[in-house]
Amino acid sequence: MINPGILIFVTRGNIAFFEPSNNNYTKNLTISEKLVQDLEIVDATALVSLISSFIEKEKFNSRECIILLSESVSFTRDNTFKEDEKKRAFIQDFTDSIPLEFPEVKIFALGEVEKIVAVNSKYHKLLTETLFSKGYQVVAVIPAAIIPEVGASNGITSEIAKKVLDNFENIRLINFIDLSIQQTPIVKSIITTEKPKGNRIYILVGVFVVGLLVLLALLLLRK
C-alpha cells in the first residue's frame, strides 16, 4: 500500500508543500507571472530551476507525493448528456472554451454525475518530472475540485490533508496519471490528452485544401 507523505497544493501563483508526518510542516513557493502567466508556462527553464532549488533547500523527510490541483488552476463542468454524440459535442465545446493552448481534458464519473476537468498538463508534468529528478515520486495528480470540501480551498490545511490521506486508496483513482490498477475502479474515466482547441477549424481547412487539389486535378485532366 502506498502511503504518500507530502501533499503539494497548486494554486495560481503558489505551490504549497505540506508534510503531515513532520509536525504539519508547510512551505510555500511563490510562482511569479514571469514564469507562469494565466496558467501557461512562460519560462520552463527558470521554473524548473526555481522548483529544484526549493526542493534541495527544504529536504523533506518523505519521498512520495500527491499533487492537488486547486480549482484556480483547473476548469470544470458537469455533463448532463447521456447520448454519446451529444456528449462528444458537449466535451468539444467545453474544450474549445478553455483559455489554454493545449488543455488536457478528463471525464470522471462519480456516481450519477459526470464531471469534466481540464488542466494544463504541461504544468503538472513539469512539476512531476522535476520532483522525480530530485528523488521524489508523484503517486497521484488529483483535481481538488471533485473532492468535497477541498476544491474550493485556496490553501492546504491539516483537515484537508487528513481527508485526502485517509481516503487515498479511493481518490487516487481520480487521477491525471495513468495507473495500472488490478481492481474494479470506482471512477470511470475518458482521457483526451493535450487535445488542441478549435480542431474543427483544422478539419475544415483540411477539407478545403483537399477539395482544391481535386479541382486542380480535374482541370488538368480536361486539358
Q: Which CATH number fits domain 6-197: 1.10.3450, 3.30.1340, 3.10.20, 3.30.420?
A: 3.30.420
Q: Which three cell numbers stand for residue 20?
A: 503531515
User: What are the angstrom distances between the C-alpha of 86 and each of 52, 83, 95?
Assistant: 44, 6, 14
Please check whether residue 62 is in contact with residue 72, taking contact to mean a CB–CB distance below 8 angstroms: no
Domains in the chain: boundaries: 6-197
DSSP string, 180-211: --SS--SSEEEEETTPPTTHHHHHHHHHHHHH
Q: Which three cell numbers stand for residue 16?
A: 504549497
204-223: b or e for each residue (b if 16 or more CB lie within 10 Å)? Answer: eeeeeeeeeeeeeeeeeeee
Cα–Cα distance measured from residue 214 to residue 163, given in angstroms and rounded to the nearest whole number: 61
In 35-119, which ranges are continuous DSSP H helix? 44-58, 84-97
Predicted TM-score (pTM) of the model is 0.76
Helical (H) or strand (E) element with 161:
helix 158-166
Cα–Cα distance measured from residue 68 to residue 160, given in angstroms and rounded to the nearest whole number: 11
Helix, coil or strand: residue 41: strand
Please check whether residue 164 is in contact with residue 66, taking contact to mean a CB–CB distance below 8 angstroms: yes
Report the chain (223 residues): mean pLDDT per 10 consecutive residues: 78 91 86 95 96 91 88 89 88 91 85 85 93 91 79 71 76 68 32 46 44 50 52
Please check whether residue 68 is in contact with residue 17, taking contact to mean a CB–CB distance below 8 angstroms: no
What integer pLDDT is reported at residue 223 of this predicted model?
A: 54
What integer pLDDT is reported at residue 101 of this predicted model?
A: 87
Helical (H) or strand (E) element with 126:
helix 121-133
Q: In which order are the strands placed within the sheet that holds 103-110?
A: 75-79, 113-120, 103-110, 188-192
